[in-house]
Chain A
């Protein structure tokens, strides 16, 4: 097979119309005649055996083609750290599998300049019966390291994994944390020009994840080319300068990481969340006062998914059928566990809405830097006049707060066990100076 020289010498990866299709067994068609049914059933084994020799996968009798990746063209320069984001099934893992040559493209081609290391999983080939040391060598060899190369890095790997004492213990006796640390340590010491990483950081406790993230940013700074698949937007944002959004096997966006993340999240959120049009399906209001809800970020972009720390503005579009002396819109924000995070209403504000004439009105309420934990939030909205609530909507899945690198640390509290809101904390360290004069020696 011929290889063409890259048009530009600083390219590390070049993909041209890279595509991968899978044949999936489709639903059985109904047989029209009994004779056809019998002949098809009788012929099927022969057809399958025929496929055995054609170098084709033969799984079902009736097949449907599914494009896991379609006509992807990308160019990645040397030293770029590119994040790949997209929903499950968007083709992210397929792309990494194609580039790491685990599977073959169905169409198109890719050109790779340099040695490729792929970390699609940590601890591939680890054997529980073998000791830590033995697994380091085995796993290293599987990842493409030579024996001498591993021997040179052994101390470094062991120190990173913090398993010195258990180096000669079978890994089946390791705690899951130790196992993961060791597995990541081997992978992290893979010295290839190009690194393909898939969700490696999604394992281990918060401490270990931070360590992995640190190692990854070290790798990124070394000028190596990295392609990084993750659902962890905070990690993508802090590691990658550029990000690619895939959707259903196609390239949706390619550009700077922050925009890509925003793009992806707004596209993702819109499908499963409440669209803002009242009444929501199945929840008819008697008076139909509330017509529409818009949630905007600080740049007035309407959306349903916002990065953590974003200032939100709720805009309610109402059609009032009578004048309201004291218009009250109560908004309760609940997290996905059902815990009420806060409640907002004009009555507690220094500038309440007061009396409002009948007709179409818009009411806006802005919340500056809402420190909600990442997750989905439900709204309870009520419209009333201070005495009676005329309309109440409960459990509206209204918006999503997505992880982001809020404080430049690359991580955030992750679970609700760590609290239901975030706190912007400033830490300071003061060490009493040992040379400071004390009372006794102040004056002679």
Chain B
């Protein structure tokens, strides 16, 4: 949809909107998302508020899920398979990866189904459609904050001392969100026409989990394979988290560079693809 408010000749206070067919690749109009930031806020707030309604344990699920996975991983990969953990106790090694991973996997799956799940909104009201997947992805941040506090608790317990590297944590968090959003944009837009996506998502997340050093360290790979491996943006995120929190030796370097480049690629291509397909959403969904 191509329309932009421009001041009219006669009355500066009334904006004129022109509605006409758009062709091909269209501009992202990110400014419009800023204009609709309150709607974004309310959608995130609704997702968070509604998620644990009518559950007995409520928001505790945000902690239970990664903690249980950590216990399972520690038992099978840590104790039985004796997978190395870069000199850090295995539970905290895997948990520090599970925290950003859960944020990513949640954002990916929620985001991919977001457009189809909001079809009643899409068919009845106008707002920049980008808001929907963005809100879905951001909905995971509250759970993330909760599981992160558990992580700090674990670090205090084991104990692992904090360093100034911690200041990098927001950057890696942002990278996890951006990657999740980038992939979710592709998938959600495709999901509108091909509901196959719904079946691909669980499979994709599982595969992606194994392709990410959550249960094992990326130091198992030798260079240059390790840097190549970091083209999976989640490799950079997970190793970045471990470096910032636990002081493992993966400081920002070629790996992080590869990961952040791939992340940006996902995000930008996702945004443009989404905007291109956007005009068909209300008609097809």
Binding site for B on A (CB under 8 A): 1-6, 9, 22, 48, 52-53, 55-59, 97-116, 118, 120-121, 124-125, 127, 129-130, 134, 137-138, 141-144, 146-147, 193
Contacts and interface: CB of A to CB of B under 8 A. Distances in A.
A121 B10 CA distance: 33
B280 A57 contact: yes
A103 B3 contact: no
Given A104-B21, A138-B42, A129 B53 contact: yes
Contacts of A3: 4, 6, 16-18
Contacts of B124: 102, 118, 120-121, 124
Contacts of B122: 102
Contacts of A116: 17
A232 B14 CA distance: 32
B231 to A, nearest CB: 22
Nearest to B11: A9
B193 A59 contact: yes
A53 to B, nearest CB: 8
Nearest to A114: B14
Contacts of A98: 19
A58 B127 CA distance: 24
B54 interface: yes
Contacts of B43: 141
B167 to A, nearest CB: 32
B38 A146 contact: yes
Nearest to B51: A129
B125 A142 contact: yes
A9 B9 CA distance: 9
Nearest to B19: A110
A105 B38 CA distance: 28
B38 A141 contact: yes
Interface of B: 1-4, 6, 8-11, 14-22, 24, 38-39, 41-43, 46, 49-50, 53-54, 120-127, 190, 193-194, 273, 276-277, 279-280, 282-284
Q: Which of B15, B22, B126, B127 has the most CB of A within 10 A?
A: B126
A143 B125 contact: yes
Given A141-B42, A143-B125, A55 B276 contact: yes
B17 A111 contact: yes
8 residue pairs, one from A and one from B, having the closest CB atoms = A109-B20, A9-B10, A101-B126, A141-B42, A1-B2, A3-B18, A104-B279, A103-B282
A108 B21 CA distance: 7
A112 B17 contact: yes
A116 to B, nearest CB: 7
B49 A105 contact: no
22 contacts: A1-B3, A1-B4, A6-B16, A9-B10, A55-B24, A55-B276, A55-B277, A59-B284, A103-B282, A104-B279, A105-B21, A106-B21, A107-B21, A108-B20, A109-B18, A111-B17, A114-B15, A130-B49, A141-B38, A142-B125, A147-B38, A193-B14
Contact of A57 (B6, B53, B273, B284): B284
Contact of B16 (A100, A113, A137): A113
B102 to A, nearest CB: 23
A99 B24 CA distance: 21
A130 B11 CA distance: 41
B193 A58 contact: yes
B39 A142 contact: yes
Contact of B193 (A2, A57, A101, A112): A57
A102 B126 contact: yes
Given A52-B194, A110-B20, 12 more contacts: A1-B22, A9-B10, A57-B283, A59-B193, A103-B283, A104-B1, A104-B279, A111-B16, A111-B19, A113-B15, A141-B43, A142-B125
B50 A127 contact: yes
A150 to B, nearest CB: 9
Q: Which of A1, A48, A116, A124 has the most CB of B within 10 A?
A: A1
Contacts of A52: 190, 193-194
A63 to B, nearest CB: 13
B8 A102 contact: no
A101 B1 contact: yes
A1 B20 contact: yes
Q: Which of A105, A109, A125 has the most CB of B within 10 A?
A: A125
Q: Which of A98, A105, A142 has the most CB of B within 10 A?
A: A142
Nearest to A120: B124
Contacts of A104: 1, 19, 21-22, 279
Contacts of B15: 113-115
Nearest to A5: B9
A102 B123 contact: yes
Q: Which of B11, B42, B279 has the most CB of A within 10 A?
A: B42
A1 B24 CA distance: 13
B14 A113 contact: yes
A147 B39 CA distance: 9
A38 B190 CA distance: 26
Contacts of B279: 55, 103-104
Nearest to B39: A141
